[in-house]
Amino acid sequence: MNILACIKGVPEVEDAVAFNADAPDVIADASINLRLNRFDEFVAEASVVLKTRFPGTVIDIVSVGPENAKKAIQRAMGMGADAGYHILSDYSQSCDAVYVANCIGQFAGFRPYDLILAGVMSEDMMQSQTGPMVAQRLSLPWVTSVIHVDVRPDQKTVYVERELEGGIREMIDVTLPAVLTLQSGINEPRYPSISNLIRAIDAGVETITPESLGVVEKKTAMITGYSYPEKTREGLILEGTIKEKALALLKILREKGLLEKNR
């Protein structure tokens, strides 16, 4: 089986955002440090689990992002993937799901993947777009928010369970090849092994330009500015030492009658 695992390198919020007095600003540039998107750790783990179950499986990692995204690719390879492909873009392009899906779609279109996996969303943009958009680019069936995967290669199908509101599980059969986005908690991601990390660095990550894939940027949505989210409540912020804050909170809860009388 051939698996493509789509991952993203994301910044820590405090590195990417300047919390200015009037309004925040996203200051991410080429120098920003990126790490593996938490939701994509589940993608790398699921791929490796499938490889263990179906010997001969090959796992490719692909990511669209700036130079520093390479570290996220290497980390995913360190969990047990076979090859890494880095489609070079700047950080803001890596946050444009249409662009990213075009890149991954063009990349994957030339290769015989049975299963394409992506995280349910990225921690920074939280759009949940890339996976289903890649599916449409490749005219493949897709399922999002997947919390259980059972591939049946002999039947050319995959049985999945997706999680709906209230923890309801929806059971689905999909024909292969297919695109799945994995919800967090589907597995328990392992730490990369030193030997796999060394192998990942030795094997290298192949860098690909969007131009070589024939992808041209065509933005339909522009960011015009940033602001702070509105507070729905003007909360009281407690001051003082930890102990003073604890006592102040207890006083408020008791005064408002929010604790049982004997407490």
Q: Which of 83, 172, 203, 208 touches another protein by CB under 8 A?
A: 172
Stated as kind and residue range, the H or E segment containing 181 is: strand 178-182
Which three-class secondary structure state does DSSP give residue 166? Answer: helix
Site for another protein in 240-259 (CB under 8 A): 242-243, 245-247, 249-250, 252-253, 256, 258-259
Task: Determine if 227 is a binding residue for another protein (CB under 8 A).
Answer: yes
Tokens of 184: 């967090």
| Of residues 112 and 167, the one with the C-beta less far from another protein | 167
| Of residues 3 and 135, the one with the C-beta less far from another protein | 135
Task: Determine if 216 is a binding residue for another protein (CB under 8 A).
Answer: no
Task: Determine if 154 is a binding residue for another protein (CB under 8 A).
Answer: no
Task: Determine if 112 is a binding residue for another protein (CB under 8 A).
Answer: no
| Of residues 136 and 207, the one with the C-beta less far from another protein | 136
Task: Determine if 6 is a binding residue for another protein (CB under 8 A).
Answer: no
Task: Determine if 20 is a binding residue for another protein (CB under 8 A).
Answer: no
Task: Determine if 201 is a binding residue for another protein (CB under 8 A).
Answer: no
Tokens of 12: 């820590």
* In the complex, minimum distance from the CB of residue 234 to another protein, in angstroms, rounded to a whole number: 9
37 vs 46: CA distance, rounded Å: 15
Task: Determine if 238 is a binding residue for another protein (CB under 8 A).
Answer: yes
Would you say 215 and 93 are in contact if contact means Cβ atoms under 8 Å apart? no
* In the complex, minimum distance from the CB of residue 98 to another protein, in angstroms, rounded to a whole number: 7
Task: Determine if 33 is a binding residue for another protein (CB under 8 A).
Answer: no
Stated as kind and residue range, the H or E segment containing 47 is: helix 38-53
Applying CB under 8 A, the span of 64-72, 83-91, 141-149, 200-208 interacting with another protein comes to 141-149
Task: Determine if 27 is a binding residue for another protein (CB under 8 A).
Answer: no
Tokens of 21: 């007095």
> How many CA atoms lie within 13 Å of 107's alpha carbon, on the beta-carbon side?
27
Q: Which of 2, 114, 129, 205 touches another protein by CB under 8 A?
A: 129
Task: Show the CA angle centred on residue 70, arms to residues 199 and 55, nearest 5°.
Answer: 45
Q: In 10 A of CB 211, how many CB atoms? A: 9
* In the complex, minimum distance from the CB of residue 156 to another protein, in angstroms, rounded to a whole number: 10
The residue with tokens 């669209």 is 64
The residue with tokens 């996220």 is 72
The residue with tokens 């909170």 is 249
Task: Determine if 220 is a binding residue for another protein (CB under 8 A).
Answer: yes
Peptide bond into 177 cis (omega under 30): yes
